[in-house]
Every structure is written in structure tokens, then in C-alpha cells.
């Protein structure tokens, strides 16, 4: 079941540009199969970039609870899809996020929403990893945060070097995760995914 989507201003103009792109590629935008394509692509791009219009810090603070728990909280296997800013081709994979609370916790689904918001922007995997970590650190002020992203990039699979099975892994951490023992515990807990 498709949810109701609110499209942003500029949708018609975006569709007009995609019509021009089709012509520049040598296609006929009046061909039956392409008549609705410019608008379909414009709508898809607005959905794929909706993260620019969402506030990840507000998502975290909307479900902030005082709690004395001070051990690692891990949300792993968070599926994400993003668009490479260099070629505007998809990259997709899984995010694994951990934080050690410092008096406050957030709803578990909010961690996944933060990943979703940053992935719905034109991105590079390295920056996205850092943005997720920084957002959680700045908003929750925990004892530490660690983020690991593993992804396949269509810009490497469909074009360029055409390496179909390569996976890129990035990580970022701060606070308590600066200790090798804490990082190792996190990596062991998500290890089944990285093997």
C-alpha cells in the first residue's frame, strides 16, 4: 500500500527538465512509453531527496526519555538507499549504529529514521557516516557513538570499473568508542553482518 506523498514546489519545472534530458539523450519524449516519464522521474527524485527537508535532531528529541541505562544500545541491519552525488546513481546497504547513553535514551526507531533522513540526500558514504554519528552525539550527548555503514555502489557496478561484488565499509566513532575494547565489542556484536 503506497502512502500519501506530499510533493514539494518545483515538481512541474523538474519534470520539464527531465523532458529536455530525454531529448538530449536522443529519445522522443512524446513516445508512448515516455509520455509520463518526466513527471515520474521528478516525483521519484523528490522522494529520494526528501531528507533535505527533514530535521534529524527533532526526530531524536521527539522521543527522548530520561533513563539510567549506561550500556551499549545497538540498532543494526538498518537498510538504507541513497544517491551518489557524483553520478546520481544509487548506493545501498546496511547501517549499524551504537551509542552509550548518558542519562537519556531515544526511541529505537528514531535511530533508523536518522539514517533514513541522511540517506535521502545526494551523498557520499563517508559523509553520511559522519553526519549520522555527529547528529546522535550532538543531540543525545551520550558517552559515545559508533556508526558503521556497508554499501554497494551502482556507480562502481554499472559504470567505471564495473566491480559487481565490491562492498564499501565506512565507520566513525567518538567518546567511549575511542577505546579499542569498546569498538571491538561493538564490531563483535555486528560481526555476523560483516563476514
**Which candidate in 17, 27, 57, 87 is catalytic?**
87
Is 17 marked active-site? no
Q: What backbone phi and psi angles, to 5 degrees, belong to 91?
A: -130, 145
* CA end-to-end distance (rounded Å), the chain: 35
**Which candidate in 46, 96, 120, 125 is catalytic?**
125
**Which candidate in 85, 126, 179, 184 is catalytic?**
85
Is 125 marked active-site? yes
**Which candidate in 84, 96, 123, 143 is catalytic?**
84
**Count of residues making up the chain:** 195
**Which candidate in 155, 157, 174, 185 is catalytic?**
155
Q: Between the CA atoms of 130, 132, 138 and 144, what dihedral angle is there, to the nearest 10 degrees?
A: -80
Interatomic CA distance for residues 181 and 72, integer angstroms = 13
**Which candidate in 12, 30, 67, 86 is catalytic?**
86
Is 86 marked active-site? yes
CA atoms within 13 A on the CB side of 155: 15
Is 155 marked active-site? yes
Q: What Rg do the C-alpha atoms of the chain give, in angstroms?
A: 20
Q: Which residues are catalytic?
A: 84-87, 125, 153, 155
Amino acid at each position: 500500500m503506497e502512502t500519501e506523498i506530499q510533493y514539494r514546489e518545483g515538481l512541474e519545472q523538474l519534470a520539464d527538465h527531465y523532458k529536455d534530458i530525454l531529448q538530449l539523450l536522443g529519445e522522443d519524449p512524446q513516445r508512448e512509453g515516455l509520455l509520463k516519464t518526466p513527471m515520474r522521474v521528478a516525483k521519484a527524485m523528490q522522494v529520494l531527496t526528501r531528507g533535505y527537508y527533514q530535521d534529524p535532531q527533532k526526530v531524536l528529541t521527539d522521543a527522548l526519555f530520561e533513563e539510567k541505562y549506561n550500556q551499549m544500545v545497538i540498532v543494526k541491519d538498518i537498510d538504507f538507499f541513497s544517491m551518489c552525488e557524483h553520478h546520481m546513481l544509487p548506493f545501498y546497504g546496511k547501517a549499524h549504529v551504537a551509542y552509550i547513553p548518558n542519562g537519556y535514551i531515544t526511541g529505537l526507531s528514531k535511530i533508523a529514521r536518522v539514517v533514513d533522513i541522511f540517506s535521502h540526500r545526494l551523498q557520499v558514504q563517508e559523509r553520511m557516516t559522519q553526519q549520522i554519528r555527529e547528529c546522535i552525539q550532538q543531540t543525545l550527548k551520550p558517552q559515545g557513538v559508533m556508526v558503521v555503514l556497508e554499501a554497494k555502489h551502482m556507480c562502481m557496478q554499472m559504470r567505471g570499473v564495473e566491480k559487481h561484488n565490491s562492498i564499501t565499509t565506512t565507520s566513525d566513532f567518538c567518546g567511549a568508542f575511542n577505546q579499542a575494547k569498546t569498538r571491538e565489542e561493538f564490531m563483535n556484536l555486528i560481526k555476523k553482518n560483516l563476514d
